[in-house]
Amino acid sequence: MKIPPRRLFLVLLAIYSNLILAQDDLTRKGTVNMPAYYATALQQDPIIDGEVINDPLWQGVPPITDLIQLRPNYGELVSEKTEVRIAYSSSTFYVSVVCYDTDAQKIVVSDSRRDADLNDEDSFLFIIDTYHDRQNGFLFGTNAQGMEYDAQIDNEGKGNFNANRQQGGVIGGTNLNWDATWKVKSQLGDYGWSAEFAIPFRSLRYAPGEDRTWGLNLRRNISKNTESAYWTSLPLGFDMKRLSLAGELKGLNLRNPGNLKFIPYVLGQYVNDKSLDPNETETNFDAGADIKYSITPSLTLDLTYNTDFAQVEVDDQQVNLDRFNLFFPEKRAFFLENAGQFSVGSPGEVDLFFSRRIGIGEDGDLVPIIGGARLSGKVGQTNVGFLSMFTEDVEEAAIEKNNFTVARVNHDFQGTRSSLGGIFINRAGLGSMEDDYNRVYAVDGKWGIGNKAEVDGFVAKSATPGIDGNDHAFKILGNYNWNGWDLRAGYTEVGEGFNPEVGFLQRTAFRKPEFLVFKAHRFKNTGNLLEIRPHVSYRGYWNFDDQLVTGFLHVDNHWEFKSGFEVHTGINFTTERVLEDFTISDVIVPAGNYKNEELQLIVITNPNNAFSFDTRTIIGGYFNGHQISNSGTARYRIGDRFNSSLTMSHNDIQLDTGNLTALVGGLRLSYSFTPRMFLQSLIQRNNVSNITSVNARFAWLQNANTGLFVVFNIVKDDDLIDRVDNQVFTIKYTHRFDILN
């Protein structure tokens, strides 16, 4: 379908203007100072106990001391003395830190669970770019209680899903479900606190050789000042995941350590379905295994048989108050490891590959996964990925056996933040149906313009029996991001026949221009006010009859204070064209063209406090009526062991055709006995489907994501005729054997 020339011209003009601004800015301003540090080669391994100050081995290693504040006092030295040392042996990478504190009684430890958020307490984190491609890396961190935090960073951490989705973004992100085998120990004292990290080389991905250089950045958080300081001085709006601005870790002599892990599991499960008369109960026993083998230090093969995800937390309940698809994120660890390598598209809107299509039916039915294989990693500067999974049939849900295959290649151009790649996605039915397949082909790329600007996009085509023509999708997005400015302009198109069955489409058949103008401004000598962030963004969805289906213009300002308190004040101008009647929980929304305005208020309190909350309120027009929408989360903790959060979403919708009140609530409770032993629960309820669910989990972790898991699930509703009342109790044990260690 031909794109209206006037609209395309405006979009391309906006992109071109951004790039001209970026190139002009590059000529007028210098780049970030990127420091360098030489790692120390050790002849003996240190004892990992958290003791650094009195350890002669560590005292013989030169420290990094000059960390620079990003907040609250931008550009100043860190307010408390900090010493970071880095060393390595033939088998292990070591980092130690001493976080001196003149008032150690005020050190905050808010959570000791593995991978808990470290931003809201006294903590230390570091990121290593082991390929030195300035785009991907591994992030590690801890707090004064020695909790373990690790994550895999793709594409400088960009591309995480935006709740409003008006700003778009590129693929990538922060993968917290990457869990490596390593250890950390910490120590508290009158001086402050210290920690030691020991990370086996076999847990990392890198290129071996002599005198290697990695990217490196460090971050210290000081809770009492709501302070964050980095080794590399970063412009406003960035954090340590901006690997193109990282410093350099030099002098690494690396060899291939060998890595072969065998990870079997055994499982026992008791199911009690009270909705049946008489009650139906069954007891199941199962077993399976994964194998992880590093073909090279940078290329890993994963094999899985009888894959199981019984220990994964259940989905958050949602109520659909519109006519487009709801998005439920992937939570299964196997599919989240190296997930960024297989991601192409526009996050949460046009995902060409969405791993939840494997093992989960369209209606939420669980589909047994027989097994499969994944090859992922890097060959030189080329990222490679291959995934093939086989699933069983489910007769009750009329689901056939299937094979899902994804092949991905993506080449990084060294030092340019640029890449070019392609992906092939295939679903092949293995049942009796003929021509039961779906395929998607795509090419994607990113052109980095210095440190400040980039253009990225993709072009895709699907192939489905019975669908001919208009089976394309593409996107182009220009972005300038530097010194608090974030300027974006882009265009996305999804053809009427585009059908990515192993992907996710928020909506079908649309053309979407979008833009964002955002500026963060940091104040000096203005009392408690730290920063304001005025911005305006727009996204519009047109159909192929040149009708505006959805328009969203957002004008806002964020007011952030030094205490961590924030207020966001905005107004939205919306347009919705309903082409045919649809229902929201039995309330009819008639066809028509609706233009409305709504006020938006967001309040965020200091998350460092034992009690904190955030709220979002929207008041304004809604189709042919109006709505008052309130949502938010309140959090309360006791020490570092007990954490709780209550999330509520309340929508009061009044239309000419009827009224609707939608209430969804979720209560999370967790108690950590140790950083590797915890009990947590999620209790949810919504009044639209009248479903109540309870998910309680006990975990005693051995290392990474292995150990003992005890899970209890309850799902029930209030329907007396066709009721749901199901209880499942699961015990699962999984163990990791390091064959080559």
pLDDT, tens digit, 9 for 90 and up, residues 439-451: 999 999 999 998 8
Tell me: do 54 and 11 sit in the same domain: no
Last residue of a domain, one of 208, 230, 254: 254
Residue among 508, 513, 662 nearest 585 (CA)? 662
In a domain, 145, yes or no: yes
> Is residue 335 scored above 90 in pLDDT?
no
> Is residue 395 scored above 60 in pLDDT?
yes
pLDDT value, residue 159:
57
Residue type for 427, please? Answer: R
d(CA 228, CA 554): 30
Least confident of 193-202, 287-296, 555-564, 723-732: 723-732
Q: How many residues does the chain have?
A: 741
In a domain, 442, yes or no: yes
Per-residue CA distances from 629 to 351, 539, 665 (Å) = 28, 21, 14
Beta strands in 464-528, from DSSP E residues, in sequence order: 472-482, 485-494, 504-505, 510-519, 521-522
pLDDT value, residue 277:
64
- Collapsing DSSP to helix, strand or coil, 378 comes out as strand
Tell me: do 103 and 199 sit in the same domain: yes
First to last CA, the chain: 59
What number is the average pLDDT over the span 293-315? 88
Tell me: do 350 and 427 sit in the same domain: yes
Tell me: do 187 and 154 sit in the same domain: yes
d(CA 387, CA 366): 20
> Is residue 501 scored above 80 in pLDDT?
yes
- HEC letters along 670-738: EEEEECCEEEEEEEEEECCCCEEEEEEEEEEECCCCCEEEEEEEEEEECCCCCCCEEEEEEEEEECCEE
pLDDT class of 720 with cuts at 50, 70, 90: low
DSSP class per residue in 516-527:
EEEE-EE-SSST
Query: For the chain, how many helices (H) and strands (E)?
Result: 3, 45
Q: Cβ–Cβ contacts within 10 Å for residue 211, how many?
A: 9
> Is residue 17 scored above 80 in pLDDT?
no
Residue-number span of the structural domain to which 37 is assigned: 32-254
Tell me: do 249 and 354 sit in the same domain: no
Tell me: do 7 and 67 sit in the same domain: no
Beta strands in 392-542, from DSSP E residues, in sequence order: 402-413, 418-429, 437-449, 453-463, 472-482, 485-494, 504-505, 510-519, 521-522, 529-542
pLDDT class of 32 with cuts at 50, 70, 90: low
Tell me: do 10 and 131 sit in the same domain: no
Greater model confidence, 554 or 313: 554
Q: What is the pLDDT of residues 187-231, one digit of tens each?
A: 999 999 999 999 999 899 898 999 999 999 999 999 998 999 999
Q: Are 96 and 195 in contact (CB under 8 A)?
A: yes
Domain total for the chain?
2
* The token pair that represents 215 in the structure block: 């990217």
Tell me: do 363 and 502 sit in the same domain: yes
What number is the average pLDDT over the span 332-348? 85
d(CA 103, CA 707): 38
Q: Are 304 and 373 in contact (CB under 8 A)?
A: yes
pLDDT value, residue 678:
92
d(CA 697, CA 300): 30
What number is the average pLDDT over the span 172-194? 86
d(CA 15, CA 479): 8
What number is the average pLDDT over the span 634-652? 93
Tell me: do 46 and 25 sit in the same domain: no
> Is residue 23 scored above 90 in pLDDT?
no
Question: If 0-12 CB within 10 Å is exposed, 13-18 middle and 19+ buried, where does residue 153 land?
Answer: buried
Tell me: do 243 and 337 sit in the same domain: no
pLDDT value, residue 549:
96
Q: Are 178 and 151 in contact (CB under 8 A)?
A: yes
Q: What is the pLDDT of residues 455-478, one digit of tens each?
A: 999 999 999 999 988 999 999 999
The rounded percent of the chain whose pLDDT value lies above 70 is 93
pLDDT value, residue 81:
96
> Is residue 165 scored above 80 in pLDDT?
no
> Is residue 359 scored above 80 in pLDDT?
yes
pLDDT value, residue 372:
94
In a domain, 565, yes or no: no
Tell me: do 250 and 377 sit in the same domain: no
Q: What is the pLDDT of residues 512-550, one digit of tens each?
A: 999 999 999 988 877 889 999 999 999 999 999 999 999
Q: Are 517 and 487 in contact (CB under 8 A)?
A: yes
In a domain, 711, yes or no: no
pLDDT value, residue 138:
94
- Mean per-residue pLDDT over the chain, rounded: 88
Per-residue CA distances from 731 to 170, 311, 464 (Å) = 39, 9, 41
Enter the pTM of the model.
0.86
In a domain, 610, yes or no: no
Residue among 542, 624, 545 nearest 581 (CA)? 624
> Is residue 721 scored above 80 in pLDDT?
no
Tell me: do 346 and 440 sit in the same domain: yes
In a domain, 16, yes or no: yes
> Is residue 324 scored above 90 in pLDDT?
no
In a domain, 175, yes or no: yes
Token pair 């008489």 in the structure block, residue = 278
> Is residue 376 scored above 50 in pLDDT?
yes
Read off the CATH number of the domain in which 192 is found: 2.60.40.1190
In a domain, 62, yes or no: yes
Phi–psi pair at 23, nearest 5 degrees: -65, -40
pLDDT class of 695 with cuts at 50, 70, 90: very high
